Each structure stands twice: as structure tokens, then as C-alpha cells.
Amino acid sequence: MTTDASSEDDALATLAAHGMLCEILALRAGLRESVRDIARESEVPGLKEAAKRLDLDLIISTERVALHPSGTFERVPSCHPGADRRIVYIGTREGCIRARRHEEDGHIARLGSVLGYPECCIEFYVAQPKRDIPVAIHGRSKRFDIHAHSLLRGITGHGFISNFPCSYACPQAVSLGKTVRKLLCEHDPAFEKDMLRYLASPLLYLGDGREVLLTDGVVKDNEVRDISVALRPAALDLPDFDTVRLDDEEVVFLKEGRAVKWVGKKAGPCILFRFG
């Protein structure tokens, strides 16, 4: 099959709509052997067709995956209600098969290598208890460089890198993010500008993988003001607010200076990621 430019652009647009653009650009530049994501089974044929137009293969996990109300994913038996998703691997056939085998055998460090993650970040990740990895990274971060910011992947699908870094100032993660940013600039500068708006906004972590992006918010002391849009998992039923104040670990949402009530519960310590 010959791949003309417009067919290639269509294919990249399909993958971009699924939040995979940066990873596919990195794959095509030889920075990784496979891209890994989660998709509904009904989305797989469209993604497979897009991959084929780019001369790439797509394979799916033998296991099924379900989405939790908190916005996190879990591998589940096929009889599980809501088990309508699969892990998809895109890349060379060999890279995809290797990624799937490492994942299904539980060799997470080997999977990380196939996905092009920095060694230091892989070592950090495999040594951590799975719960509250963002809290551990936050504690190790002296700076919050947007090039190493992958927390938005669950909210907007955005991020120059797709792994948890060992810190938000990790030189390897920052360098990888800068390289991918350059590739994105060459491919679609308008998309890069859009991404930056989100990556440069502060982020509130409510524990248990739940995050709220405080878009355009300005951090001053223990307050984030001038928030224009708050993006979060649908299950997190937050009030309408324009300011967030952190009193110790307590979160107070404010609208035009008045506290507004949030009936939800945070699952762990509340942390502010000072990106931007």
C-alpha cells in the first residue's frame, strides 16, 4: 500500500484524537519501539486502520480492561461488568509483541524499556508501591518542569512524555520531553500551543489517582486563583469554583470569594503540583 501525505495526516489525526500523537511521533523518530494505550474494543478497528496507514502494526492485550469511576484502569476477567476495553500496542510487529509479552508476564521494567522510558524513571517506578506514585514523585521534585509532566494523560491525553518520571526535574525525562516537543512543533505548532496551556497549569491531586487540572490558575502562597476551567474525571462531582485554597491538607473551593461546598471525599493527602 502506498501512503500519501493526506492519508498519513488523517491517520495521525485519528491517533491524536485518542491522545497518542506525541507517542506516535516519538515512535516514528525511533525513540521507542511501541506505543501502549487503552481503547474501547469498538475503537480498535479505527486505530488499527490508522496504524496501518503509517506502516505500523497494532495488537491488543489478551486480557480485558475496565475503567473505574475514579478514572483509573484495571485488568479484569472478561466476565467482569464493564470489561469493554483492551490495552493496544502500536509499533513494529516485533516491538508490539515484545511489549505485550513483558506486560502480561509482569516484567514491568522490560516493558518500560520497549516503551522508551528513561532507565532512572523505570527503576524508581518498579521500586514504588503502586498507590500514590504521584505523591512520591512530588516529594522528590525540586522543580516542576512541564517537559516531564505526564499527569495530564488521564485527563486530557496530553504530555510530551507518557511515563511517570522519577522527579519532575529528572534530566533524562526532561530531555526526552524536549525532544518530543520539538517533533510536535514541526508537525503541528497549533496543537503544541494548546498543550502548553494545560501543561503550564497547576494541578490538584486528591489522592488515589484523582487529579483536577486548574486551567490558567495562578499560584500564590496556598491559593490558586483565576482558574478558568477545571478539568477532572467525570466521577469527581466538584462544585463551580474559581479559586482553590489549601488549609493544611484540607481543600476549600471558592467562588467569587465565598466558600462553596464539595460533598466528595479526598482519598489521601491533597497536594498541589506547581507546574507553570
Contact residues toward Zn ion (CB under 5 A) are 118, 120-121, 166, 170, 172-173
For residue 34, the surrounding DSSP H or E stretch is strand 34-40
CB of 166 to Zn ion, least distance (A): 4
Amino acid making up residue 252 = V
Nearer to Zn ion, 88 or 137 (CB): 137
Nearer to Zn ion, 147 or 210 (CB): 147
Nearer to Zn ion, 159 or 217 (CB): 159
CA distance 229 to 250: 21
CA distance 250 to 266: 9
Other beta carbons within 10 angstroms of residue 182's beta carbon come to 14
CB of 37 to Zn ion, least distance (A): 22
CB of 163 to Zn ion, least distance (A): 9
CB of 116 to Zn ion, least distance (A): 13
Nearer to Zn ion, 118 or 207 (CB): 118
Amino acid making up residue 218 = V
Nearer to Zn ion, 83 or 199 (CB): 199
CB of 58 to Zn ion, least distance (A): 28
Long-range contacts of 177-181 (CB under 8 A, 24+ apart): 177/145, 177/146, 177/147, 177/148, 177/149, 178/147, 179/26, 179/29, 179/31, 180/22, 180/25, 180/26, 180/31, 181/147
Amino acid making up residue 59 = I
